[in-house]
Amino acid sequence: MKRSLLIPFVCALLGGGVVVAVVAAAGGLSKGGTTVTTVQAAPAAPSNASAPAGGLTPGEIYKRAAPGVAFVTSTVVQRSESPFNLFGGGESQRQGVDTGSGIVIDTKGTILTNYHVIENTAKVTVSFEKGKTLEAHVVGKDPSNDLAVLRVNPEGVTLHPIALGDSNGVQVGDPAYAIGNPFDLERTLTTGVISALQRHLTAPNGFQINNVLQTDAPINPGNSGGPLLNSSGRVIGINSQIETGGSGNGSVGIGFAVPINTAKSEIRQLEKGGTVAAAYLGLVTRTVDGSLSALNLPVQNGALVLSVQPGTPANKAGIKGGSAASSESGEVAVGGDIIVGINGKKVASSEDVANDVASHKPGDKVTVELLRPDGHGHWGKKTVGVTLASRPSTAPEGLNNTPGG
């Protein structure tokens, strides 16, 4: 599922009270930063049903979880060309403030949030219940999944960690509860349901985030980095982006959360510091389905390789992309390989490729099973070995927001 994202990002300049708006290529729900998609969707009324049998009421969930939701304030430095330098090259600097939310995950002072909340920050402070504010340090970040870990000195503060759940067990229709700081309204609770699964979002560095949870629990600017909770009060996602319907910066009942299992798989690495190095294959694929029937492909499922980035593991392994042609759903590259398996596991879609690559680390060796056209209407089977590399800091042109690896 391809999304086109526009993110107006607004922050107040310190000292002058001036507001500056700029457009970013990726971002989310930090206050003043709202994701807008090109999909026009009717507002979905949030569900305020009471807790299901065996679950907690919204009030009980709030009482348990709200003390573990942090108010995150980032001071960012904005650079621009100085209008007073007649010969060019001079820069002026202004400080801006961005606000979001965070999740306390242990009593040692570890806080999970979105990467875009603290991106380019010069200083981060975290406020807890009863107004206690501490300076925080960014100890680890993963721009590819819009995740970051902060650390505060817990001395003199009683921290209330929120239990992490299992996003793999989430089903459409399950109750969902969001707690955060929308529009600086601290620790606000909204309720709804999980309205869809397996969505895709664009990360701040242009790569795709997979397996995203969609909810109709209202979330707004300032909710970024806060928890999406299940009926047991456990975190199942990190609220990150919203659909605004193109009508403004507010919620229309469609929000998106990075699944907590994605965060759980790398929290230990994030706590050790630095940037998470994701595995990288270096190609763009498209799911083989009925929309490609006119191409007379040899299989009904798989991942058609549209393009291969130069110098990447896929390129070095000899995997081939195609050339432009037309299909029912528009122009598509044909004549490229079709990936049908990775390490003996069947590949039925582009998402399978992305998920398989994401499950590995840079340096891992994988075998990729392909079907390759001979140019005369026939296809042959081929298996290639690939040594995965580290994902680049930003997505190459053509790879943005597209399932690949």
Active-site residues, by number, are: 116, 146, 224
**Torsion angle of alpha carbons 285, 288, 290, 291, nearest 10°?**
20
* 250: exposed, middle or buried (Cβ count in 10 Å: 0-12, 13-18, 19+): middle
* Distance of alpha carbon 330 from alpha carbon 286, whole angstroms: 12
Give the other-Cβ count within 10 Å of 95's Cβ.
15
Give, as one character, the DSSP assignment of residue 87: T
- Cα 193 to Cα 241, 244, 314, distances in angstroms: 16, 18, 40
* Distance of alpha carbon 20 from alpha carbon 11, whole angstroms: 6
Q: What is the DSSP string of 222-263?
A: T-TT-EEE-TTS-EEEEEEEEE-TTS-SS--SEEEEEEHHHH
Across-strand partners of 5? 37
Q: Are strands 274-275 and 133-142 parallel, antiparallel or unpaired?
A: parallel
